[in-house]
Chains A and B, each alone.
Chain A
């Protein structure tokens, strides 16, 4: 009987799901990220991205150095007022759907640099989805932040008809 089943390919097997959930599942495991690295947190980003901690395990392994090809913006490090227009432009160039991670205390809140030059948190310039604290954050914290973002993507309303939005 078992031998019989092995010979024939399974038929009539299907799963039911919602299109929204399916799209979320696909999107959360295919994050192309753009690293906007400005400061020392970049070392921790490299550590998280390379083989030891390997964010590729979570589907975010492909680094794109063009904002137009990426959908996850990693803001890694201190953002100054001089650099703020650049970051804003990079964010605007990314195509929808897009998500932003503030990586490290400086990107989250300005960190120790409460002075004339530094933006006090990138959420003053662009919307942020996940904040990863730490100065710098350990790679485990980064992975935790990535999982949090995946959870958010899975459960959000997947707007997929970008050019056909109802008014």
Chain B
């Protein structure tokens, strides 16, 4: 099964959910609606494409644009040695998206990282808590509007 056909299959299966499909730097990219994420991901994992592995899951802050945030998922098919990228946009007013922990176990920490650094809420995540930053840390440091010089030390610093 070739890549082109998987994107075509995706468009056929989810005519409303898949907004755009393209090729970028040798990888197939599907731009989807965020409501369709869980269904698309389930289809990709269990369907003929066999994307058994979630390589990475991250977020991009396009400050000034609307919708502001973009979630990026990198999938890898072990049986076919193929990659696929899924992108979906999130508005700042409604930073919610379905969690993929039910499909791929490693999504757990990746989603906690994105929640920590960008403030995206993953619905259905079993334990959505900060991963890197400490308790009591305010804000989300990888957002473009986090102040560059803002420090939140846990103990008093000498000058």
CB distance from B153 to the nearest CB of A (A): 5
User: For this complex, into which size category does the number of interface residues on chain A fall?
Assistant: 10 to 19
User: CB of A40 within 8 A of chain B?
Assistant: no
Query: With an 8 A cutoff between CB atoms, is A125 at the interface?
Result: yes
Q: How far is the CA of A25 from the CA of B146 in the complex (A)?
A: 52
Interchain CB contact under 8 A, B155 and A125? yes
Q: Chain A residues near B146: list those with CB within 8 A.
A: 116
Does B78 make an interface contact (CB < 8 A)?
no
A124 pairs with B150, CB closer than 8 A: no
Q: Are A81 and B158 in contact (CB under 8 A)?
A: no
Measured in the bound complex, the distance between the Cα atoms of B153 and A124 in whole Å is: 11
Contact call A124/B158, Cβ cutoff below 8 A: yes
In contact, A84 and B133 (Cβ under 8 angstroms): no
**Which residue of the partner chain, among A82, A88, A124, contacts B133 with CB atoms under 8 Å?**
A82
- CB-based contact B150/A81 at 8 Å: no
Q: Which residues of B contact A115 (CB under 8 A)?
A: 141
User: Contact partner of B158 among A82, A85, A116, A123, CB < 8 A?
Assistant: A123
A84 contacts B152, CB within 8 Å?
Answer: no
Task: Render B108-147 as a binary contact track against A, CB cut-off 8 A, 1 for contact.
Answer: 0000000000000000000000001110000001000010
Q: Indicate whether A88 sits within 8 Å of B155 (C-beta atoms), given known contacts A81-B134, A82-B134.
A: yes
A124 and B157 contacting across the interface, CB-CB below 8 Å = yes
Does A117 reach chain B (CB closer than 8 Å)? yes
Q: Is the CB of A81 within 8 A of B154?
A: yes
Q: How far is the CB of B61 from chain A (nearest CB, A)?
A: 14
- For the A-B complex with A84-B153, A116-B150 known, give 19 more contacts whose Cβ atoms are closer than 8 Å: A81-B134, A81-B154, A82-B132, A82-B133, A82-B154, A84-B154, A84-B155, A85-B154, A85-B155, A88-B155, A116-B141, A116-B146, A116-B151, A116-B152, A117-B141, A119-B157, A123-B158, A125-B155, A125-B158
Residues of B in contact with A (beta carbons under 8 Å apart): 132-134, 141, 146, 150-155, 157-159
Nearest 3 pairs of A and B residues by beta carbon: A124-B157, A116-B141, A82-B134
